[in-house]
Amino acid sequence: MSAHRPFVQFMDLGLIDYKKAWDYQTLIHNKIKEHKKNLPNTTTSQNSLIFCEHPPVYTLGKSGHINNLQYSSQELDEAGISFYKINRGGDITYHGPGQLVVYPIFDLELFRRDVHWYVRQLEEVIIRVLQSYDIQAERIPEYTGVWVRGNPDRKICAIGVHISRWVTLHGLAFNVSPNLKHFQGIIPCGISDASKTVTSIDKELKQSINMTVLKNKLKAVFREVFQFEYKIEQ
**pLDDT tens column, 2-45:** 458 999 999 999 999 999 999 999 999 999 999 988 888 777 78
Q: What is the pLDDT of residues 106-143, one digit of tens each?
A: 999 999 999 999 999 999 999 999 999 999 999 999 99
What pLDDT is stored for residue 3 in this prediction?
57
189 is catalytic: yes
Indicate which residue of 189, 191, 198, 218 is catalytic. 189
Task: For residues 205 and 134, give the distance between their C-alpha atoms in angstroms, rounded to a whole number.
Answer: 9
Task: For residues 88 and 159, give the distance between their C-alpha atoms in angstroms, rounded to a whole number.
Answer: 10
What mean pLDDT is reported for the chain?
Answer: 94
The answer to whether the Cα torsion of 132, 134, 140, 145 is positive or negative is negative
Exposed/middle/buried for residue 35 (C-beta within 10 Å: 0-12, 13-18, 19+): middle
Task: For residues 107 and 104, give the distance between their C-alpha atoms in angstroms, rounded to a whole number.
Answer: 10
Q: Answer whether the bond into residue 104 is a cis peptide, omega within 30°.
A: no
Residue 173 has a CB neighbour count (10 Å cut-off) of 24
Give me the architecture of the 7-36+46-226 domain, per CATH.
Answer: 2-Layer Sandwich (3.30)
Task: For residues 29 and 165, give the distance between their C-alpha atoms in angstroms, rounded to a whole number.
Answer: 10
Task: For residues 23 and 45, give the distance between their C-alpha atoms in angstroms, rounded to a whole number.
Answer: 19
Predicted TM-score (pTM) above 0.75: yes
What pLDDT is stored for residue 44 in this prediction?
75
Strands 57-60 and 92-95 turn out to be antiparallel
- Residue 201 and residue 79 in contact, taking contact as beta carbons nearer than 8 Å: no
* Percent of residues, the chain, with pLDDT higher than 70: 98
